[in-house]
Structure 1
Amino acid sequence: MPKTIYVVTHPEASHHVERLVGGWYDSDLTANGRRHARLIGRVLRTRIPSDVPAELFSSDSLRARRTAEVIGESLGTDVITDPRLREKSYGIADGRPQSWLDARFVPPPRSGERLVHDEGIPAAETKAGFAARVFAAMAEITAGDATHQVIVTHGFTLTFIIAAWIGMPLSAVGVVNFRAEPGSISTLHEDDYFHNRQLSVLAERVTSYD
């Protein structure tokens, strides 16, 4: 059977409007974010056949979990939380003003070793550690036979979800980036003949009910 995965980046959260570093800081959805989550849930309901059970996975961060719960209500599906789907941790910068991080952040070099690059922030995750945990989560999520799955996650995490899906080696993810705004839907598909995997739609911004 073919497989389709809808990857949702959580909508607007309080750290966005307060200009704080997200990461593992447990911000909640704003009122706008909650409305957007309901819209995403309705849209996914039109795309996933009602007679087909869908699996719903989510980062355990509050803002992602709230989004997933709303989607779950639309799909009639329980949420399976997985901390490996969290955003990258920025260590002691999590929850601080974005300007604080910007003033101290050391960007990676253009070439050379980027995966274990020290960004200058104590206790921050390396890109290598971040990618490895997302790859591990995706290996388990995609191993099952479900034909329709939804993953609720974060903007940066989306890059490694896609990389894992298309079989990109971990050694190559140091330079990859798939950009997505909050409240987007990316569609991943695997056909049932060649079993080729594709990124069908990247970061679709849901603004109206289709």
Structure 2
Amino acid sequence: MNTTHFWLVRHGETLWNAERRLQGWLDIPLNETGRKQAAQLARFLASDAFTADIHAVYSSDLSRAYDTAQIAARSLGLPIFREPGLRERSYGIYQGEDWSSLSMASGGKALVDFRDPEQPIEGGESYLAFSQRAGRAFEEIAGRHPGQNVLVFTHGGVIDIAWRRSIGAALDVQRPFPILNVSINRCGIRGPGDWFIQDWGYTGHLENEALDDVW
């Protein structure tokens, strides 16, 4: 069977992660902690503890993911393909805002429900549109690399979609765990719509776990 196996890595920490601000398509660079995390991952990927034979490396075209890939995947000696389809969700007019201020406005009611699949986001993507775009990107990559192992550097929101597709979770199902910076998450694609989950949330290569996922 020509299953494509994916190693999905969330980018290293940024200042806006630490400040819990929505990044979306804004090109926020890694901070010092994020670059350290990427270096820790680099040591793991170059060590005997990492036994997978990686055939291709892909990254979101946003710098926080691409720079993580450049630091972490250097020992693999492979080109890094930038894939715009692996970008984080666009939050439109809400990008740069504090996550908590949007989640709970006056009276305890959310100003905007980013989890509602159908809710339009001015200047951005609905959750459903984002899910479709991210899923399509993974299946296109799988089509280019049947039977191969692919390392992907991307964002918390994109990895969330891969998790949902791999276990069949609807968009309105609450994910019971965070997706941490520079965590390694594994899934596979056998064909269109045929996804499955493998290992998830590995952070053994980090000295300290990173912040929760503010996308």
TM-score (norm 2): 0.77
Letter paired with 1:200: Q
Identify which of 92, 106, 119 aligns with 2:112.
106
For the aligned residue pairs, the C-alpha RMSD in angstroms reads: 2.7
Letter paired with 1:185: I
Q: Which moved more, 1:197-206 or 1:36-45?
A: 197-206
In structure 1, the gaps of 5 or more residues are none
In structure 2, the gaps of 5 or more residues are 208-215
Number of aligned residue pairs: 193
Letter paired with 2:89: K
CA deviations over 1:50-106 (Å, ceiling 9, x no partner): xx4521111111101111111231211111111111111111121233355334632
**Separation (CA, whole Å) in 2 of partners of 1:4 and 1:136:** 16
Partner in structure 2 of residue 12 of structure 1: 13
Deviation, structure 1 residue 197: 5.5
Partner in structure 1 of residue 128 of structure 2: 128
CA gap 1:48/1:141 in 2 versus in 1, 3 angstroms: farther
Partner in structure 1 of residue 117 of structure 2: 115
Matching of residues 8-87 of structure 1 within 5 Å? 8-46=9-47, 47-49=50-52, 52=53, 54-87=55-88
Deviation, structure 1 residue 155: 1.1
CA gap 1:2/1:15 in 2 versus in 1, 3 angstroms: same
Q: Contact 1:88/1:156 (CA < 8 Å) preserved in 2?
A: yes
CA gap 1:25/1:168 in 2 versus in 1, 3 angstroms: same
Q: Which moved more, 1:174-183 or 1:24-33?
A: 174-183
Deviation, structure 1 residue 108: 6.6
Q: Contact 1:6/1:150 (CA < 8 Å) preserved in 2?
A: yes
CA gap 1:130/1:176 in 2 versus in 1, 3 angstroms: farther
**Separation (CA, whole Å) in 1 of partners of 2:199 and 2:174:** 17
CA gap 1:70/1:190 in 2 versus in 1, 3 angstroms: same
Q: Secondary structure at the match of 1:159?
A: helix
Give percent identity, aligned residues only.
27
Q: Contact 1:21/1:101 (CA < 8 Å) preserved in 2?
A: no
Q: Secondary structure at the match of 2:186?
A: strand
**Separation (CA, whole Å) in 2 of partners of 1:19 and 1:127:** 19
CA gap 1:108/1:35 in 2 versus in 1, 3 angstroms: closer
Partner in structure 2 of residue 200 of structure 1: 198
**Separation (CA, whole Å) in 2 of partners of 1:173 and 1:99:** 21
Partner in structure 1 of residue 210 of structure 2: none
Q: Contact 1:72/1:78 (CA < 8 Å) preserved in 2?
A: no
Deviation, structure 1 residue 3: 4.5
CA gap 1:4/1:87 in 2 versus in 1, 3 angstroms: same
Q: Which moved more, 1:83-92 or 1:125-134?
A: 83-92
Matching of residues 177-196 of structure 1 within 5 Å? 177=175, 179-189=178-188
Q: Contact 2:54/2:151 (CA < 8 Å) preserved in 1?
A: no
**Separation (CA, whole Å) in 1 of partners of 2:54 and 2:125:** 35
TM-score (norm 1): 0.78
CA gap 1:95/1:190 in 2 versus in 1, 3 angstroms: closer
**Separation (CA, whole Å) in 1 of partners of 2:69 and 2:56:** 11
Q: Secondary structure at the match of 1:40?
A: helix
**Separation (CA, whole Å) in 2 of partners of 1:99 and 1:167:** 28
Q: Secondary structure at the match of 1:39?
A: helix
Q: Contact 2:3/2:147 (CA < 8 Å) preserved in 1?
A: no
